[in-house]
Structure 1
Amino acid sequence: MRTAATFRLHGPPAEVTRRLGVRPSTATDSLWCLTSPPSDSELAVHLTRLLDVLEPHRAALWELAEAGHPADWFCLVASHATEHAVELDRRLLGRLLTLPGELLLDVCGDERD
């Protein structure tokens, strides 16, 4: 199994970085991204890493979202069909709900073999 997660905020990266005081993992002209890179860790581990960085900036994230800069949590899960189930417990889901952004899951086969 391979998993990864990225918090993406659509907006000017320089402004987002200034408002949050957090450097992005990657940025384009209109997209600021904070990524937990692919690994064999559970998806919950990736989301927890991102939440630990972003939660202290909750107010600024909501201000940006309400000003027209949509956000999302893009998650990758690559696994063989019978190999693994993804578990996101209620506590983690509750933490996600305190920040802006839809949860997007890209689930596919793991072609590393």
Structure 2
Amino acid sequence: MRSAATYRIFGAPGLTAAEVTRRLGVRPTTAAEAGTPLGRRTSAVRAESLWCLSTSAADTEPAAHLGQLLDVLEPRRAELWELAEAGYRADWFCLVASHAAEHAVELDRGLLTRLLSLPGELLLDVCGDETA
């Protein structure tokens, strides 16, 4: 099973990724501001700012990736809730790629309790692992 996780914070125009970095004191894995191009091959621009803290895809259980992010973000719980109150929205995006014969994903009560202590919904992107 391959997995990875990202904590994403979105901000409407006027709510910047730079402000998220300043308030949290955490350097993001990636960040982009509202109004910036979505890519080199399009004229479309971002409607919202985006701040991401990510793990690298690895042959590890999703719970390990989420735990790694939680270890960084839990000490900043108050700041994250202040950002949510200021209008930012957040989510946990978790990729799970597995073979048909592999086992189910387990997110135990302790991990779920930790996730619930911070703003954001949990999104699971479950797919087959075509790399094998």
Paired residue for 1:45? 64
Structure number, greater radius of gyration? 2
The total of aligned residue pairs comes to 113
Q: Quick one: which of 51, 68, 90 aligns to 2:109? A: 90
Taking only aligned residues, the RMSD between alpha carbons, in angstroms, comes to 0.7
How far has the Cα of 1:7 moved from its partner? 0.1
Q: Quick one: which of 15, 21, 27 aligns to 2:25? A: 21
Letter in structure 1 aligned against 2:81: W
**TM-score normalised to the size of structure 2?**
0.83
Query: Greater helix percent: which structure?
Result: 1
**TM-score normalised to the size of structure 1?**
0.97
- Which of structure 1's runs of 4+ aligned residues deviate more than 3 A? none
Q: Which runs of 5+ in 1 are unaligned?
A: none
Letter in structure 2 aligned against 1:80: H
Cα distance in 2 for partners of 1:72, 1:18 equals: 19
SS in 1 for 2:99: coil
Letter in structure 2 aligned against 1:77: V
Structure 2 matches for 1:58-69, cutoff 5 A?
58-69=77-88
CA shift digits 1:29-80 (9 cap, x unpaired)? 1000000110001101000000000000001101111211100000000001
Structure 2 matches for 1:74-89, cutoff 5 A?
74-89=93-108
- Give the percent of matched residue pairs that are identical in Structure 1 and Structure 2: 74
Cα distance in 2 for partners of 1:84, 1:26 equals: 31
Letter in structure 2 aligned against 1:20: L
